[in-house]
Chain A
Amino acid sequence: MAVSGFEGFEKRLELHFFGDDPKNMGTLGLGLRLLDFDSIQEVLDEVQCTVVSAVANHYFDAYVLSE
Chain B
Amino acid sequence: SSLFVYPTKIIIKTCGTTQLLKSIPPLLRHASLDLGLTLSSCRYTRGNFIFPRAQPFPYTNFQNEVVYLEESLPAALCYRKASVMPSKTPSHAWHVFSASTQNTTCRFGDSDDDDLYTLEICMTELDRDLARNFFRRPGDDKNGDSAGKEMTELTGISQINPRALICDFAFDPCGYSMNGIDGDRHSTIHVTPEDGYSYASFECVGSVYDDREEVVRMLKKVVQVFRPATMSVSTTCASHEAWTRVAGALEPLGFKCRSCAADEFPAAGTVVYQTFVDRR
- What's the tally of chain B residues with a CB closer than 8 Å to chain A? 86
CB of B6 within 8 A of CB of A32, answer yes
Q: Which residues of A contact B183 (CB under 8 A)?
A: 57, 59
Is A5's CB under 8 angstroms from B51's CB?
yes
A40 to B194 alpha-carbon distance, docked (Å)? 31
Say how far A29's CB is from chain B's closest CB, in angstroms: 6
Are B12 and A13 closer than 8 Å at their CB atoms? Answer: yes
The interface bits of chain B over 47-73 (1 if a CB of A lies within 8 angstroms of the residue's CB, else 0) are 111110111000100000000000000
Bound-state Cα–Cα, A39 to B5, Å: 13
Q: Which of A10, A35, A62 contacts B35 (CB 8 A)?
A: A35
> How many contacts between A and B, using CB within 8 angstroms?
261
Q: In the complex, A23 Cα to B36 Cα: how many Å?
A: 9
- Is A46 a contact partner of B19 (Cβ separation < 8 A)? yes
Task: Confirm or deny: B38 has a beta carbon within 8 angstroms of a beta carbon on chain A.
Answer: yes
Q: Which of B172-190 contact A (CB under 8 A)?
A: 175, 177-179, 181, 183-184, 186, 188, 190
A14 and B10 within 8 A (CB): yes
Known: A12-B46, A57-B165. A6 touches B14 (CB 8 A): no
**Residues 12-30 of chain A: 1 if any B CB is under 8 Å from the residue's CB, otherwise 0?**
1111111111011110011
Residues of the B chain whose Cβ atoms lie less than 8 Å from the Cβ of A57: 165, 181, 183
A65 to B14, CA, bound (A): 8
A63 pairs with B8, CB closer than 8 A: no
Q: Do A7 and B3 touch across chains, with their CB atoms under 8 A apart?
A: no
One of B25-33, B81-89, B255-263, B269-277 at the interface: B25-33
Inter-chain contact B194/A60, CB cutoff 8 Å? no
Q: Known: A9-B49, A13-B44, A55-B181. Contact between A64 and B26, CB under 8 A?
A: no
Contact between B2 and A17, CB atoms less than 8 A apart: no
Contact A19 B1 (CB under 8 A): no
**Pairwise interchain contact A53-B145, C-beta atoms closer than 8 A:** yes
CA distance A46 to B25 in the complex (A): 10
Task: Identify which of A14, A39, A60 contacts B42 (C-beta below 8 A).
Answer: A14
B154 interface residue per 8 A CB criterion: no
Complex interface residues of chain B between 196 and 248 (CB less than 8 A to chain A): 196-201, 203
Q: Is A60 within 8 A of B26, CB to CB?
A: no
B36 touches A21 (CB 8 A): yes
* 24 A-B pairs in the complex with CB atoms less than 8 angstroms apart: A5-B50, A5-B197, A6-B15, A6-B192, A8-B190, A9-B47, A10-B13, A10-B47, A11-B21, A13-B13, A13-B20, A13-B23, A13-B43, A14-B42, A15-B9, A16-B9, A17-B10, A17-B39, A19-B38, A24-B36, A33-B7, A57-B183, A67-B14, A67-B18
Contact surface of B with A, Cβ cutoff 8 Å: 1-27, 30-31, 34-51, 53-55, 59, 108-109, 120, 122, 124, 144-145, 148, 165-169, 171, 175, 177-179, 181, 183-184, 186, 188, 190-192, 194, 196-201, 203, 267
